[in-house]
Chain A
Amino acid sequence: GAVVSQHPSWVICKSGTSVKIECRSLDFQATTMFWYRQFPKQSLMLMATSNEGSKATYEQGVEKDKFLINHASLTLSTLTVTSAHPEDSSFYICSALTVNDSPLHFGNGTRLTVT
């Protein structure tokens, strides 16, 4: 089945630094990738939709200048958390859309801890 690889699986950084998270579709081309965030004991919340070759679409309340998304190819999308703060500590998960109406496939997630 379709495989989505996410890297790194966990990262610890100091407040004020930037962190880049990669999401790759390994055996298919993903025209659309989604970035979710999950805080402890809460459900997944969509942050943004990443389309190859165009600007990402951000959900209400998500700062586009803080969470930079780049989808430069059909197999790679990156999320950069800029000037990270402790409140950005969360579980970040990407997913990819294969063909219309197919179940989304999730990466393994990235646990970000900002100290």
Chain B
Amino acid sequence: QKEVEQNSGPLSVPEGAIASLNCTYSDRGSQSFFWYRQYSGKSPELIMFIYSNGDKEDGRFTAQLNKASQYVSLLIRDSQPSDSATYLCAVLNAGGTSYGKLTFGQGTILTVHP
């Protein structure tokens, strides 16, 4: 059973702080990892993807991947109230007949308060 686990939160941080979102996955063969942001009633929008161990930065967002620990995280620097949303961690199935399938975590609700 392929699983992706996230702390459902809610995670509350003050404006300007760093928000840290964590995700673990069970399939050691997974190669591709994605973070999506979902506002209430809306479809998920891609924030970042990461394939290699280490950090990947894009503006205020940094994704971190540690395949040995089967752990992926998302850091949001200088958090803004507009960042308040549900953040979904997703893992792309490795291949074969399952190629392209995303397995989602349950999502972490982030609230950034002024």
Tell me whether A and B are bound partners.
Answer: yes
Q: Are A44 and B88 in contact (CB under 8 A)?
A: yes
Q: Are B46 and A103 in contact (CB under 8 A)?
A: yes
Dominant secondary structure of chain A at its interface with chain B: strand
Q: Are B101 and A34 in contact (CB under 8 A)?
A: yes
Question: How many angstroms from the CA of A29 to the CA of B83 in the assembled complex?
Answer: 32
| Interface status of A105 (Cβ within 8 A of chain B) | yes
Task: Please indicate the chain A residues that have their CB under 8 angstroms from the CB of B43 in the complex.
Answer: 6, 93, 106-109
Given contacts A42-B106, A43-B104, contact A106 B44 (CB under 8 A): yes
Q: Are B97 and A57 in contact (CB under 8 A)?
A: yes
Q: Are B104 and A101 in contact (CB under 8 A)?
A: no
1/0 per residue A38-53: CB within 8 Å of B?
0000111110010000
Contact residues, B98-113 vs A (CB, 8 A): 99-107
Q: Which residue of the partner chain, among B100, B105, B107, contacts A104 with CB atoms under 8 Å?
A: B100
Question: How many angstroms from the CA of A107 to the CA of B49 in the assembled complex?
Answer: 18
Q: Are B49 and A103 in contact (CB under 8 A)?
A: yes
Interface size class of B (residues with CB under 8 A): 20 to 34
Task: Please indicate the chain B residues that have their CB under 8 angstroms from the CB of A106 in the complex.
Answer: 43-46
Task: Please indicate the chain A residues that have their CB under 8 angstroms from the CB of B102 in the complex.
Answer: 34, 44, 46, 95, 104
A104's closest neighbor in chain B, by CB? Answer: B102
| Interface status of A97 (Cβ within 8 A of chain B) | yes
| Interface status of B42 (Cβ within 8 A of chain A) | yes
Contact residues, A87-115 vs B (CB, 8 A): 91, 93, 95, 97, 100-101, 103-109, 111
Question: How many angstroms from the CA of A80 to the CA of B97 in the assembled complex?
Answer: 24
| Interface status of B41 (Cβ within 8 A of chain A) | yes
Given contacts A103-B34, A109-B42, contact A97 B100 (CB under 8 A): yes
Could you list which residues of chain B lie within 8 angstroms of chain A, going by C-beta atoms? 31-32, 34, 41-46, 49, 51, 88, 92, 97, 99-107
Top 9 A-B residue pairs of the complex, sorted by shortest distance between their CB atoms = A109-B43, A97-B100, A43-B104, A43-B106, A106-B43, A44-B104, A103-B49, A108-B43, A103-B46
What 7 additional pairs, Cβ within 8 angstroms, besides A6-B43, A43-B105, A106-B45?
A46-B103, A91-B41, A101-B51, A103-B49, A104-B34, A109-B42, A111-B41
